[in-house]
Every structure is written in structure tokens, then in C-alpha cells.
Structure 1
Amino acid sequence: MTVYAGLKALHLLCAVLWVGGLFYAYVVLRPSLAAIDPPQRMLLHTQVFRKFFLVIWHAMPLIIITGFAMLGLLGGMANAAWQVHAMLGLGLVMAAVFLATFFGPYRRFRRTTDRTRMAGNLDSIRKLIGVNLILGLITVVIAGLL
């Protein structure tokens, strides 16, 4: 396996984990939680988000690092197709949304015990996850055009 192929495999694996995790959180987990009582729902969110954000803290930098490394091996942005430019831009926006989520509503969610505030923070997290899910799916479609 070449260096480029290894970088691409790691890049794609991390992207699948991130976008797949967003899809799971938004489409599967949240609607399913309506079946349990609010205190247990908050406890489950606490556990799920702790693990999810830990995974993304590893996947996101690896996506950025491998993306730039592959770009360097291909000769830089001047030689890159428009899809690469779009993926880079969308990926950086996704990273910014992730950081805003983590240091904003997720941090507030972790630090409060008031259920009303927790619910408000969960709603903010849900909306930001939705934004990142849309950006991630657009990025996947663009990657498929390469």
C-alpha cells in the first residue's frame, strides 16, 4: 500500500465515523429517546455525548491532517480539482461547528444539573449536529464526484 492510499483509507474511515455518528445521533438516537423518562434521557445523553465527542476529538484532526497530507502529495491546491477545494472548505466549516458545539452548548450541558437548562442545551446540540450532518452529507456527495 502506498503512503497516499494509507492516508486516504484513514481519512475515509474517520469521515465515516464522524458523519455516521452524526446520522446516528440525529436520526436514530434522539427520536428513540422519547420512549424513556427525562432523567434517564439526560443520563443517556451524558454518556453518549461523552463517548461521541471523544471519538470526534480524534477523528476530526486526523481528517484534517490526512487531507492536507494527501493534498501535499498531489502537488497542492493549485493542482486540486474543485471537489477537493469544496471538501476542504466544508471540512473546515464542520470542524468549526464541532468546536462551537463542544465549547458552547455541550460544555454548558455538562456543567448544569437544572433539567430545563439541560434540555435547552440539548436542543442547541441537536441543531448544530443537524447542521454538521447536512454539511457532512454534502461533503460525501462531493467526494463521490471525484
Structure 2
Amino acid sequence: MIKSLLFLHLFFATLWVGGMIYTLFFLRPSLKRISESQKSDFVKNVYGRFFLAVWLSILVLFLTGMGLWHGYRRDFSTNFLFHLKLFLFAIMVLNFAYIYFFLYRKNRLSAIPSLVAINLLLATIIYILISWIA
């Protein structure tokens, strides 16, 4: 059971972080070759698909994280770095909610990459923290 939770947790973390890397380093530079009229619809479609995966990732990460914490690593309860990781995850979720509800749904697509970069930075810090405490 623990191995399944760990697999799901790592898979969905990778899905979210990999999507952010794809968005910033591959999609965004490639959009410079597309005309403005095509760009908006294309980006809206790509983000729409990716953002569904992010919502699913948030749900799965929360559920599997709680399962791993309470069923496998109860010692995390007293670990400051683990609580910092949870705080950073909460900021990532709030940042994504802002991206989704106030930028994506209101078609302010040009502001999204800078906030995705912030989430990527926070995810990198979380990876560093979890490797120190694992």
C-alpha cells in the first residue's frame, strides 16, 4: 500500500513539474513562430488540458501525501522542513488557483508564464527539502 501511495505521489508531482518545465522551456519559445491570431486559441487549448491534469495532481498529491505522512512517516510531524514543504505546497496551490480562476478563465494568458515560473521555483525548493529530510 505504501509503495502504491509513493508511486502515485511521485508520478503526479512529476506530471505537474514536468508540465511547468514544458510550458516555460518548450512551449513558450515555440509560440514566437505562431501568428497572434492562432496563438491565443492554441495556448488556451494547451493550458486547458494541462490545467485539468494540475487539478488532478493537486488532489492526488494531497491525498497520497496525507496517507504517506500518517501511515509511513509519522516523524514528519515534528520536522520543521516538512512543515515548510507543506507551506510551500499550499502557496503553489494558491498560486495555481489564481492562475486558473483569474488569468486563464479571464483570458489573460500572457501573465501566466511568470506565475508558472514561481511555482516551478517553489517545486524545486520542495524537491530540495524532501531530499534533505527523506
TM-score under structure 2 length normalisation = 0.90
Q: Mapping of 1:24-103 within 5 angstroms?
A: 24-73=22-71, 74-75=73-74, 77-79=76-78, 81-103=79-101
- Which runs of structure 2 are paired with 1:118-137 in the superposition (5 Å)? 121-137=108-124
1:73-126 CA distance string (max 9 Å, x none)? 1336434x34322221111111111111111111101xxxxxxxxxxx122211
Q: Which residue of 2 aligns with 1:142?
A: 129
Deviation of the 1:55 alpha carbon: 0.6
Q: CA-to-partner distance for each residue in 1:60-80, whole Å, 9 max, x for gaps?
A: 11101111111111336434x
Unaligned runs of 5+ in 1: 110-120
Distance in structure 2 (CA, Å) of the matches to 1:59 and 1:7: 13
Aligned residue for 2:15? Answer: 17
SS at match of 2:82: helix
Residue by residue over 1:6-55, the C-alpha shift from the partner in whole angstroms, topping out at 9 and shown as x without a partner, is 11110010000001101110111111100111111112101101100011
* Number of matched pairs: 132
Give runs of ≥4 in structure 1 deviating > 6 Å: none
Contact 2:103–2:109, Cα closer than 8 Å, also in 1: yes
Q: Which runs of 5+ in 2 are unaligned?
A: none
**RMSD, aligned CA:** 1.5
Aligned residue type for 2:74:
G
Distance (whole Å) between structure 1 residues aligned to residue 99 and residue 39 of structure 2: 19
Residue 127 of structure 1, CA deviation: 1.5
Query: Which structure has the larger Rg?
Result: 1
What letter corresponds to residue 83 of structure 1 in structure 2? L
Where 2:74 maps in the other structure, the secondary structure is: coil
Q: Which amino acid aligns with 2:90?
A: L
The residue number in structure 2 matching 1:113 is none
Retained in 1: the 8 A contact 2:44–2:104? no
